[in-house]
A and B are shown apart, each in its own frame.
Chain A
Amino acid sequence: MWRRNQGLLLTRQSLVLVLSLTASLSAARTSAQALKLSLEAYPAEIRADLARPYENVRAHPDDANAVGSLGRVLQAWEQWETAHQAYTRAISLAPTSFDWHYLDACVLERLARPQDAVAHLRSALKIRPDYIAARVRLADALLSAGQLEESRTLFTALAGEPQAEPLGRFGLGRILAAEGKHEEAVQAIQQALALFPEWGAAHYSLALSLRALGRRDEAQQALQRQVQYGTRWPGVPDPVLSSVSDLRNDSAARFRKARSLADQGDLNGAIAEFESVLADDKSSALAHSSLVKLYGRTGNWLKAEEHYRAAVALGSGLAELHYDYGVMLGLQQKWDEAQEAYRRAIAINPVYPEAHNNLGQILERNRQFEPALAEYRSAVLDRPTFRLARLNVGRMLIGLGRLDEAITELQKITQPRDAEAPRYLFALSTAYVRAGRKDEGVRWATDARQLALQYGDAALAAAIERDLALIR
């Protein structure tokens, strides 16, 4: 019985092997026929990057490295469909290569095909079971595809690895939430957040589970943290994927790198990148425009001015260009010129709350209070959630003696009670006091002081305390 079963087993295994090889070869033939690029349809920069690898593939169509390398360039340029075709071919030629399976999985994720990504991640991990980034992606893809049990097994293992523990714990939390086990989900997500507190997505998941448990106030607080931290996400080393990103050195890639450097606070690095773009293409108005802001932030007024003039000469219609120039001029206290710059920004984009607000501040400096008030009101009309502009409306109204109006405006910015709120509450208190409503003024000033202390603004709290003493 055993021997007959063994024979049956061998037959089954052989059949599977034959079938899978047949399928692979069939797919390979199909994808080889399909792997045609119309290079002439691509813009110059990508065409230049694709030309050599594509020639290489045409010369060596059965060379897995050649085909895979073309896939990497296509992936670097976010040409997902053709990258997938190239990797499919490379896999058929070299089915035991980790890189092609893994990179194809990454591409399939971008094509929102988690089931297909799962298949390639499994293959990749058979070759390199220790590659953490692949394990994380597989666990995530299984979760996205609704295969919770297998995803749970993977996340549990990841939670035991120092590099991946936050991701493992968060994954387990998401699975528990999907199963409706929100108490346990909250615990798991909080464990993840203890390891990586600035994780917007985790705070969001936490919020939903807290809401499901009826803990709405805590859920709201978690949502605020989600907004605060945005898309920050704990990474794991991924040298295979990183090597793909490094393939590009075109202007768009350098733009992205420059913006990333600027976001991280490396202004000089960002400047260097934008200057390198201009070294290749002096007509990039966007690079000139970006440098106005960056040089302005570093205090290099001359260079900022130079790039502003260059952008204008190129016919740049960016409202932000004139706005940033206005800010730079303001920092140099060149108020008249700054005013003109803001007006140019508004002429291009009339719905520009920051430009209206800043213009209002210059007009206020010039003691043109009614025009300043009009600009502040425009800023608020363009963006009713612009609390600073509404504070300025309130201040102007207080200065003009229109206290009831000031109170009405300032009442609208007392919520949320965040770190900005103390000065809004203080302004409201001032309006009440000036309107002769001292008790209400004292109450709001007291609230403002407490809130300032809560958020660690001792200086503001002290100033409010001094005013309270005067009022009393």
Chain B
Amino acid sequence: MRLLALFFLFLWLPPLGGSTPQLPPKGGSHGVFVESAAAAGLNFTHITGATGQYYVAEEMGAGVALFDYDNDGDLDVFLVQGGPLNDKSPADTPGYPTSRLFRNDLTRGPDGKPRLHFTDVTSQAGVALRAYGMGAAIGDYDNDGDLDLLVTSFGPETLFRNNGNGTFTDVTKEAGVSDPLWSTSATFFDYDRDGDLDLFVANYLDFTIAGNKKCTDTAGAPDYCGPRNYRPVPDRLYRNDGNGHFTDVTESSGISRADGAGLGVVAGDYNNDGWLDLYVANDATPNQLWINRKDGTFVDEGPLSGSALNAAGNPEGSMGIASGDFDADGDEDLFVTNIIGETFVLYKNDGAGNFEDSRVQTGLGPLTTTVTGFGTDWFDYDNDGWLDLFVANGAVNAIESQRGQPNPFKMKNQLFHNTGSGRFVDASSSGGPAFEQAEISRGAAFGDIDNDGDTDIVVTTNGGPVRLLMNQGTPGNHWIDVALQDSPRNRFGFGARIGIERTGKPTLWRRVHTDGSYLSASDVRAHAGLGSSTSIDGIVVQWVDGMRERWTKVDADRLVTLKRGTGVKQ
């Protein structure tokens, strides 16, 4: 008996950091998320055009946008498509595959439960874009109350203006927002506080088909070249002139003063001065933290802020970005996905725009050693009031253990649960069978697709089918969705901060945004889980121009639309 006791004594090894945090209960036997793309009619397969030449553009796409294009109250899906990669222009190639727009025909069944169905409306909407597409960005750039769409590509960008009647018009030329560089992620944001959305486009490498380089993996087999085999090309900042046209202010704004192989971008106020800054994730080059100097110019504080490099002073892979207040201390922290062996990094903000690499302290580092991550965002999947993380994973170089298999780049996606004490645990096993599937995932867009109060995810696969992860909800936890209305400028309140005030608990701060992640755009409505309490003391909105208003008597478990001027000025 004594020996048996000793046996168990010596076998018990407490993990680093103390007792084991508890995972939330699983959402039924099928897990928290149920993959429902085919069942909902979201039929789309990405085409890389790969022919064995290992063109690096093949492995980078593509993205997805979740946005209510027809203003009927539910989220529609735009999926970016690739195609054959050669020296011919896709636009001039008959039969070239196109990106697709799926209209959400959400209804309620007799039982009151949401019934989800998507209809492909690409042609009638006028967005059958023939391009080797990369990503999508969403914003109401013309302030007419509907959301417009920018598609980036290996080639020029395309701006589609939403006509408000279910159709779009390609206004790229008249808007002046296109150049031939390889564009990736983009964001619409009001950097000069003049009430309209400006545009930042991240550009990647100087790769060309004609100049394709031959690279190998570590064993000498043909493989994709890494970013260091090419050179970064400059990003672009366009100022919205307010008349349907943008002016390229890349140079005058100072954005041209730093180079980087741009893959991810997000706008946020990182030094808490009320002005929107930019964070750019650059592949194998230092990330940039463009601090808004409030005079139309930016300065790159990336290296000095501690958010550009790892602890050894070296740049990392840096593809996807999640920007949000994970520790509820009122500032925006940054989570960046990297390549296998680097681990993903959480840069914790001290509130003044100085960041600390907290991947070890938060537990995220050890959980991400064996994966290469792309699309990601902060979201409260179980509505417990703490921001969790989802990461879409997929390799960019052949995985040793998959040698000899077709497409040896497959990895499992991950779900990380925020314990509320500054640490994260791997909750992927609670996620459901979809998290057991190893694929080459890339983009991820987040939003409440069936309007049932929890956040769902659309995940794209490089060379494979789209995945629709429907959140089954966490009973007992409450939530609030907030949509903003402003008029006549910045109609959706892009960039505004929303604070959900609760008695005896920290305020939950959320930013109105569609950017971040990788090549993708998420729901513009802000979501906050409230945990077991339905009590909301008030909602504070800090608009982009600095004005602050507060609303009270807000009930939980619903979407509230807050119109500027109807709250109490603070």
Q: Give the Cβ gap from A50 to chain B, nearest Cβ, in Å.
A: 9
Binary B-proximity of A408-442 (CB < 8 A = 1, otherwise 0): 00001000000000000000000000000000000
Looking at the assembled complex, report how far the CB atom of B423 sits from the nearest CB atom of chain A, in whole angstroms. Answer: 12
Tell me, in angstroms, the Cα distance from A207 to B306 when the chains sit together.
9
The stretch from A216-224, A267-275, A292-300, A333-341 touching chain B is A216-224
Within 8 A of B (CB), among A20-68: 38, 40-46
Q: With a CB–CB cut-off of 8 A, which chain A residues contact B214?
A: 286
Q: Tell whether A384 is near chain B: CB-to-CB under 8 Å.
A: yes
Q: Are B211 and A317 in contact (CB-based, < 8 A)?
A: yes
Please give the number of chain B residues whose Cβ is less than 8 angstroms from any Cβ of chain A in the complex. Answer: 52
Stretch of B63-71, B250-258, B276-284, B376-384 contacting A (4+ beta carbons < 8 Å): B250-258
**List of B residues within 8 angstroms of A384 by Cβ:** 234, 250-251, 256-257
Q: How far is the CA of A115 from the CA of B369 in the complex (A)?
A: 12
Q: Is the CB of A350 within 8 A of B208?
A: yes
Q: Is the CB of A211 within 8 A of B304?
A: yes
Residues of B within 8 A of A (CB): 3, 6-7, 10-11, 16, 180-181, 206, 208, 210-214, 216, 218-221, 231, 233-234, 250-251, 256-259, 303-304, 306, 309, 311-314, 340-343, 354, 360-361, 365-366, 369-370, 400-401, 403-404
Out of A19, A203, A216, A348, name the residue touching B10 (CB < 8 Å). Answer: A19
The distance in angstroms between the C-alpha atoms of A219 and B306, with both chains bound, is 11
CB distance from B315 to the nearest CB of A (A): 11
Task: Flag whether A94 is at the interface (Cβ < 8 A).
Answer: no
- Report whether A385 and B211 are in contact in the complex, using a CB–CB cutoff of 8 Å: no
A residues touching B (Cβ–Cβ < 8 Å)?
Answer: 11-12, 15-16, 19, 38, 40-46, 77-82, 110-113, 115, 144-147, 174, 200-201, 203-205, 207-208, 211-212, 216, 219-220, 223, 226, 231, 250, 252, 286, 317-319, 347-352, 382-385, 412
Interface centre among B7, B181, B251, B400 (most CB of A within 10 A): B400
- CB-CB under 8 A from A81, the residues of chain B are 400-401
Could you list some 15 contacts between A and B, CB below 8 A?
Answer: A16-B10, A19-B7, A43-B219, A43-B220, A144-B360, A145-B16, A201-B314, A250-B220, A317-B212, A318-B211, A350-B208, A351-B206, A382-B206, A384-B251, A385-B259
Is there contact, CB below 8 Å, between B361 and A146? yes
CA distance A146 to B314 in the complex (A): 19
A146 touches B306 (CB 8 A): no
Known: A42-B403, A146-B16, A350-B208. A11 touches B6 (CB 8 A): yes
| Min CB–CB distance A7 → chain B (angstroms) | 11
Are A252 and B234 touching (Cβ within 8 A)? no
3 A-B pairs with least C-beta separation: A204-B313, A384-B256, A41-B404
Knowing A42-B221, A211-B304 are in contact, say whether A385-B313 is a contact too (CB < 8 A): no
Known A-B contacts A112-B369, A207-B304, A216-B304; the reply to A348 vs B210 at CB < 8 A is: yes
B314–A231 touching, CB < 8 Å = yes
- B214 nearest in chain A by CB position: A286
Q: Are B220 and A382 in contact (CB under 8 A)?
A: no
Are B341's CB and A112's CB within 8 A? yes
Q: Do the beta carbons of A252 and B206 come within 8 Å of each other?
A: no
Given A78-B218, A318-B213, verify A223-B251 contact (CB < 8 Å): no
Chain B residues lying within 8 Å of A348, measured Cβ to Cβ, are 208, 210-211
- Check B16 against A349 for contact (C-beta < 8 Å): no
Q: Which of B7, B16, B234, B340 contacts A115 (CB 8 A)?
A: B16
- Residue in chain A with minimal CB distance to B11: A19
Pick from A216, A226, A252: contact of B216, CB below 8 A: A252
Please measure, in the bound complex, the distance between the C-alpha atom of A451 and the C-alpha atom of B378, giving whole angstroms: 48
Query: A252-B216, A317-B211 provided; 12 other pairs, C-beta below 8 A?
Result: A11-B6, A19-B11, A41-B403, A79-B218, A80-B400, A146-B16, A204-B309, A204-B313, A207-B303, A211-B354, A220-B304, A384-B250
Q: Is the interface of A mostly helix, strand, loop or mixed?
A: helix
A382 touches B234 (CB 8 A): yes
Query: Closest CB of chain A to B22's CB: distance in Å?
Result: 22
- Cα distance A146–B358 when bound, in Å? 10
Q: How far is the CB of A312 from chain B (nearest CB, A)?
A: 14
- CB nearest neighbor in A for B343: A112
Chain B residues with CB below 8 A from A211, complex form: 304, 306, 354
Distance of A147 Cα from B16 Cα, bound (Å): 9
> Which B residue's beta carbon lies closest to that of A112?
B369
Instruction: Tell me which residues across on chain A come within 8 A of B303, comparing CB atoms.
Output: 204, 207, 223, 226
In the complex, A318→B229 CA distance in Å? 11
Q: Which residues of A contact B404 (CB under 8 A)?
A: 38, 40-41
Report the Cα distance A306→B366, complex, angstroms: 52
Q: Cβ of B219: which chain A residues have Cβ within 8 Å of it?
A: 42-43, 46, 77-79
Smallest Cβ-Cβ distance to A353: which chain B residue: B231
- Closest CB of chain B to A171's CB: distance in Å? 12
Knowing A145-B360, A318-B213, A412-B251, say if A77 contacts B218 (CB, 8 Å).
yes
Residue of A12, A44, A226, A382 near B6 (CB, 8 A) is A12
Q: Is the CB of A201 within 8 A of B313?
A: yes
> Contact between B304 and A111 (Cβ–Cβ < 8 Å)?
no
Query: Which residues of A are found within 8 Å of B340, using beta-carbon distances?
Result: 112
Nearest-CB residue, chain A, relative to B306: A208
A residues in contact with B369, CB < 8 Å: 111-113
The answer to whether B258 and A82 have CB atoms under 8 Å apart is: no
Given contacts A41-B403, A111-B369, contact A382 B211 (CB under 8 A): no
